[in-house]
Amino acid sequence: MGSTKISRRSALLGTAGAAGAVAALPATAQAAPSGPPTASGHLYEIGTGRQRVLIGGVAASVLSWQVDGQEMLLTHDPDDVGEGYQGKTILPWANRIDHGSYTFDGEELQVAINEPDRDTALHGLMSFVEWSPVRHRSDSVVLEHVLPPDYGYPFQLAFRIEYRVDDRGFASTLHATNVGRRPAPFGTANHTYLAAAPGTSVDDIVLEIPADTYYEVDDRLIPTGTAPVDGTDYDFRTARPIARTTMDTAFTGLHHTGGEAVVRFRRPDVDVELWVDENHRYLQVYTDDDPSTDRPARAGLTVEPMTLAPNAFVTGDGLIVLRPGQTHTGSWGYRLA
């Protein structure tokens, strides 16, 4: 899915030597962060016209999207750690690995359990890692990070992400390159929440999701199978209010038209679209019913663009396998409708 062979490892992330190391970028390509880091890392503001976006270096997070000064996202102060993975780029897997154990290329592997109540490994290894700046311009920022191998994930991947703003919204493009010596399992997502309109909840959002299929799950949110959305509470193929529907639900069978699948949100005050490219064939929708902070429940909605299904490291559903030297590229974004 979306993987292309590159002829030189110098593409995107510097030149890799025979041992798979990534050389430093030329000094002229580097961008020094400004100001001291926050709990969300160094901050990078980009904008044009009515649009302003704030990116945090930790997890290459989307911390703010403002249109005419109005905040569109359910987010947190950069000096707070936040909760619910708000805005984070999720790597090198998204969602859960059941019991944190998986088998790849004949090797049994175990990653740390970070969701003990469900006995799962949740949202990868980079949710609290600071990315380094490559380029910061008025309307775009490029960050990168090289993930070294460890006992549970003995693979070496290099990532570069660009956020860009235009007159309608912002877009994210992620490049993931295998700079190691062996094939690597991989997947990614983003965990940005769209806020409900001021004084309302997600109940008041009219939602359209172009997905034919959803994942049934057990009490630990591990998929047990798929089912058609037809005739269920999860059928949003025709736009309708969320009302009291609760979701922590993955969808697939997306309809891509002209290279995009588009989720539409009609708030009482504004219409917004989330678009994903053809390398994102899964969405995780969460109606924020059980926030762990003092904020009201159902104050925002996350629709996560995902390249793989929940528990894909175990099932292989949507799993991307990057060969040495291979790059995967995927894009998504938010815009005014």
pLDDT digits (tens, 9 = 90+) for 31-60: 666 678 899 999 999 999 999 999 999 999
Q: How far is Cα of residue 255 from the mean position of the Cα atoms in its chain? A: 19
Q: How far apart are CA 60 and CA 133, in angstroms?
A: 10
pLDDT at 6 over 90: no
pLDDT reported for residue 32: 63
pLDDT at 20 over 60: no
Percent of the chain whose predicted confidence (pLDDT) is above 70: 90
End-to-end CA distance of the chain: 28
pLDDT digits (tens, 9 = 90+) for 83-96: 889 999 999 999 99
Q: Over range 201-225, report the average pLDDT.
A: 98
Hey, which CATH number is domain 3-14+30-198+276-336, 3.50.50.60, 2.70.98.10, 1.10.3720.10, 3.40.50.300? 2.70.98.10
Confidence of residue 7 (pLDDT cuts 50, 70, 90): very low
pLDDT at 30 over 50: no
Q: Over range 261-273, report the average pLDDT.
A: 98
pLDDT reported for residue 10: 31
pLDDT at 244 over 60: yes
Q: How far apart are CA 325 and CA 11, in angstroms?
A: 10
Q: Identity (one letter) of the amino acid at 164?
A: R
Q: What's the predicted TM-score (pTM) here?
A: 0.90
pLDDT at 292 over 80: no
pLDDT at 295 over 90: no
Instruction: State the Rg of the chain over Cα.
Output: 19
pLDDT reported for residue 2: 45
Q: Over range 67-88, report the average pLDDT.
A: 94
Q: Over range 284-305, report the average pLDDT.
A: 92
Give which of 160, 187, 168 is closest to 275, Cα–Cα.
Answer: 168
pLDDT digits (tens, 9 = 90+) for 79-128: 999 888 999 999 999 999 999 999 999 999 999 999 999 999 999 999 99
Between 108 and 291, the more confident residue is 108
CB 130 within 8 A of CB 42: yes
